[in-house]
Structure 1
């Protein structure tokens, strides 16, 4: 099964995992890494690389990070260079809908190459503004 890693600042990754498991139940292929104020960046990156290598599967690994260009993302990309012959994707801007979609597709046996774009789309589509959405639905009923 594809391994899913969430790497983020503070306790965001654990919070997302907790919410996901509340909704979907426990998942053996969901892993977290947290970067705290007192965590050394090199130790964070090395620990993430070691864990990713330890959970390696033929199906691959997808790493979600909170911010593009921030430390968790940078460490994921830097450490990717050290991991040989592995199907590996890194996606920034993690949110709850995208990880739920990823986990659902993984459970259905969808390959990493076939799911990452769908996961991106669901993450983007999950962002809504109340009044704009309300207007869309009111206008549909009024037609």
Structure 2
């Protein structure tokens, strides 16, 4: 199973995973890391490495971050020197996590998992537009 690390500014990583697990079930090989205001880069890097070391297989993991160019993302990019097979996707959201959790249990390749995760993340963004029917219009 492909290990998943979710890292965000603040508490949202654990909350996103908790929300996705409500639908997909408890996940193995999934860790979360939070970056808090005022935290040093060295502390964040140490926290990430500590969580990575909890995985059974650290050679082929997928990291989901909240923001391209943010501190968590930048530290992950730096860590690709130590973990060259680590992949990073930004813009993590609940649909992306759900798809990742579901697909990785069926033995999908990491490349396909990444494609499906990104696609689910994009499709999870939606604007609902209410169209007034004639009946709705008459009620006003």
User: Residue 33 of structure 1: SS of its match in structure 2?
Assistant: strand
- Give the corresponding residue for 2:10: 10
Counterpart-to-counterpart distance in 2, 1:79 and 1:54: 16
Change (3 A) 1:59 1:48: closer
User: Residue 87 of structure 2: SS of its match in structure 1?
Assistant: strand
- Give the corresponding residue for 1:130: 128
Q: State the Cα distance separating 1:47 from its structure 2 match.
A: 2.0
Larger Rg: 2
Equivalent pair of 2:7/2:65 in contact (CA under 8 Å): yes
Equivalent pair of 2:63/2:89 in contact (CA under 8 Å): yes
- Give the corresponding residue for 1:101: 99
- Give the corresponding residue for 2:71: 71
- Give the corresponding residue for 2:138: none
TM-score (norm 2): 0.85
Equivalent pair of 1:60/1:88 in contact (CA under 8 Å): yes
Counterpart-to-counterpart distance in 2, 1:6 and 1:47: 12
Counterpart-to-counterpart distance in 2, 1:96 and 1:104: 12
Equivalent pair of 2:67/2:91 in contact (CA under 8 Å): yes
Task: Compare 44-53 and 110-119 and name the one that shifted more.
Answer: 44-53
Q: State the Cα distance separating 1:29 from its structure 2 match.
A: 1.5
Equivalent pair of 2:33/2:51 in contact (CA under 8 Å): no
User: Residue 13 of structure 1: SS of its match in structure 2?
Assistant: helix
Equivalent pair of 1:59/1:112 in contact (CA under 8 Å): no
Gaps of 5+ in 1: 139-143
Counterpart-to-counterpart distance in 2, 1:113 and 1:59: 15
Kindly indicate which of the two structures has a greater share of residues assigned to helix.
1
Change (3 A) 1:67 1:24: same
TM-score (norm 1): 0.84
How many pairs are equivalent? Answer: 132
